[in-house]
Amino acid sequence: MKTLTTSIILALCWCTWIEAAPAKAAAAPAQGNPAAGTAVVADKLYQETYRPQFHFTPAKNWTNDPNGCVFYKGEYHLFFQHNPKGINWGNMTWGHAVSPDMVRWKQLEHAIHPDKLGTIFSGSAVVDSGNTAGFQTGQEKVIVCIYTSAGKPFTQSIAYSNDRGRTFTKYEKNPVLGHIAGSNRDPKVLWHEPTKKWVMALFLDKNQYALFGSPDLKAWEKLCDVLVPGAGECPDFFELPIDGNPKNTRWVFWGANNTYLLGTFDGKTFEKESGPHPSNWGGNCYAAQTWSDIPPSDGRRLQIAWMHRGKYPGMPFNQQMSFPTELTLRTTPEGVRLYKKPVREIENLHAKRHAWAGRALAPGGENLLAGLEGELFDIRAEIELGKATAVGFTLRGQKVQYDVGGKKVVALRMTAPLAPVDGKIRLQILLDRTTIEVYGNDGLISMPTCFLPDLANRSLAVYAEGGEARIVSLEVYELRSAWE
């Protein structure tokens, strides 16, 4: 919201535009320059110079919030805010892609188009396994999308599919939830098994949200209000076990800026126990959403976000998604906190592996990565800090550094607190053509940030400053492109 003028905020306060303007944050993500004389390719689909190779982007034009994340019959569905007519924000329509593994995506035809109720803003999707809405006409279970109709005023509508999400029909009696307050929007719906009803988390206005209940996705009643200080828009709401114990759970209430509350939910009232807590320290992460209907045999809570404010000069597309992550709740000395780490499916792209263990890391000493160069890597390291004042990596000229005295990670001018454990830190870093995503101590911190690379610099380095450290273990995986 801080990127827009006050007059625009008052007139156009909605989730799908707020990051369309250039960022003015004091700690802006690094945006380098291409090397002089280096050719930029823009006409080879999915092989363009600045096309991310394992982060989802549409074939062309603008995209922002992930929408309607749902799993059905072996396919992860990703709907997304999309402008089918231009490279900048506007004409909001639900784009659509599917994947067998959240890594290799196939873009389908647009799913939901603007109508007399307005353009199609953010929302969610569910599988109506019990046919509570009565839309099922064949053998396939119905996928129902719940979205904001961004007319005057904003209302909430639904559309449904009987063919595995290939085509959608809008409910003839839309909207299913009328205007309540402000630019109320971004419905996130889940099935609450104990009370046998659907629950909707909805943004209302400012820092105000609410929960609603329905037996059939058509008729909704208000359950309770929820206040998330410092947050706004694009809620999510889900339950997670603490430390993997299914008998000890908490509910997570999530806001668009990655702030979350922890509490309890009895089917009617959400009772906050702690928060708001931050979950992101990177420069480019917004409007995250988790997938619904993940099979119990899997059981993971999976999330994807818009990596907003990235720069892609001369490209046919604009903006990208984060790499999907798995969320867990774990007990820390400060209390229960949300952990986030890349989904294991990144291993589907692993190619050549390079590994080291028990190696000294001395200032001015050998660079273990001197023989490696490229654009796409999954780096996993455990480092004993020893007498070093800093340790880190330089990736295509961009530093990811741990400040030992400050107990913090500094990456592309963003910082995140990270205390060592028994004198050691663990890092996982995903490097794509235009992004560096850093995860510390198994996901206690996450830092997804965009950058514009120097095309001539494909080098990697690992280093220590101020004293000797030790590489306990270091694995560097070269990655294949997901578009191959």
- 3-class secondary structure, 9: helix
Contact 83, 92 (CB under 8 A): yes
Tokens of 435: 């992004």
Contact 226, 211 (CB under 8 A): yes
* CA–CA dist 76, 58 (Å, integer): 16
Whether 65 is catalytic is yes
Set 43, 65, 163, 432: catalytic member: 65
**One-letter amino acid for residue 247 of the chain:** K
Q: What is the DSSP string of 27-51?
A: TPPP---PPTT-----SSTT--TT-
Q: Is the dihedral of CA 472, 431, 446, 22 positive or negative?
A: positive
- Which of these, 282, 268, 317, lies nearest to 449 by C-alpha position? 282
Cis peptide before 29 (omega within 30 of 0): no
* CA–CA dist 146, 67 (Å, integer): 9
**One-letter amino acid for residue 10 of the chain:** L
What distances in angstroms separate CA 389 from CA 148, 363, 384, 405, one per listed residue? 50, 10, 12, 7
Cis peptide before 194 (omega within 30 of 0): no
**Phi, psi of 430, deg, nearest 5:** -105, 120
If phi > 0 it is left, if psi is from -120 to 50 it is alpha, else beta; for residue 319 that is left
Give the number of residues written for the chain.
484
What distances in angstroms separate CA 203 from CA 146, 180, 190, 286, 371, one per listed residue? 14, 10, 15, 15, 50
* CA–CA dist 400, 422 (Å, integer): 21
Q: Catalytic residues, which ones?
A: 65
